[in-house]
A and B are shown apart, each in its own frame.
Chain A
């Protein structure tokens, strides 16, 4: 069974500062990794995903994430945040088999961008 840890429940950061949202996972098999974003009062939408290949994945809105197999991490980064990035961010992991119960979301990190 897979699991996801997002150690930071809340991250406040000033506008134009860099940010890193941390995600660690546990799995006994190879994984696919995702970051989803939820803006206030909306559903989730995909930011980026890692399936294979290059460990540095670029997503929408200037976000990127790096897959580190040895550290079982998939941290999300943005070099300069905007007020509009205020949202909740969810890391998720799935396995190579058909969906089953293998798709697991982390508890989320609430990013607050301050003026």
Chain B
């Protein structure tokens, strides 16, 4: 099992450019998440998908959109990148249920995407 995979590993964008970060999991998990990690701030939730077919905003959704393409895949799109979006982005998944994510769940993280916006 590969677990949670993310592409690309590194990306440099110019202000205003767009890009999509891809995430896939092979653990048959119901719930998937996108976080950003900034120094001294821990991880902050951008969007999550509690189950296939649903997406919800997290703590810091502005400037991002997501798509739960199917049960395996959850993508994050930056429509017009800004320097404030320079960060490390992590995708995660958890078992959840068909009805939604659970607070007791262990989350499994991908290796991250390091994004720089100039």
Checking A94, A96, A102, A105 against B42 with a beta-carbon cut-off of 8 angstroms, the contacting residue is A105
A44:B109 contact, CB within 8 angstroms = yes
Residue A114 CB within 8 A of the other chain:
no
> If the complex has contacts A9-B40, A108-B42, are A101 and B58 also in contact, measured as CB distance less than 8 A?
yes
Interface residues of A in 20-79 (CB under 8 A from B): 32, 34, 36, 41-46, 49, 51
Q: Is B117 an interface residue (CB 8 A)?
A: no
Do A43 and B110 have beta carbons less than 8 Å apart? yes
Residue of B nearest to A49 (CB): B106
Whether A45 contacts B109 by the Cβ 8 Å rule is yes
Interface residues in B17-46 (C-beta closer than 8 Å to A): 31, 35, 40-45
Contact present for A32 and B43 (CB under 8 Å): no
Residues of B within 8 A of A51 (CB): 104
Contact A103 B45, beta carbon cutoff 8 Å: yes
For the A-B complex, the count of residue pairs with Cβ-Cβ distances under 8 Å equals: 68
Partner of B102, one of A4, A42, A43, A99: A99
The residue on B at minimum CB distance from A51 is: B104
What's the least CB distance linking B111 to chain A, in Å?
5
The residue in chain A whose Cβ has the minimal distance to the Cβ of B101 is A99
| A41 neighbours in B (Cβ, 8 Å) | 111-112
Query: Within 8 Å CB of B45, what residues of A?
Result: 101, 103
Q: How far is the CB of B101 from the nearest CB of chain A, in Å?
A: 3
The answer to whether residues A97 and B103 also contact, given A43-B111, A43-B112 and a CB cut-off of 8 A, is yes
Per-residue interface assignment for chain B, residues 52 to 83, with 1 indicating a CB less than 8 Å from any chain A CB and 0 otherwise: 00001011000000000000000000000000
How many angstroms from the CA of A70 to the CA of B44 in the assembled complex?
27
Chain B residue numbers with a CB within 8 Å of A32 are 103-104
Nearest CB in chain B to that of A106: its residue: B42
Interface mask (B93-105 → A, CB under 8 Å = 1, otherwise 0):
0001001111111
Question: Considering the complex of A and B, which 10 residue pairs feature the smallest CB-CB distances, nearest first?
Answer: A99-B101, A43-B109, A94-B103, A105-B42, A98-B100, A105-B43, A107-B42, A44-B109, A46-B106, A43-B111
Give A contacts to B, CB under 8 Å.
4, 9, 32, 34, 36, 41-46, 49, 51, 90, 94-103, 105-108
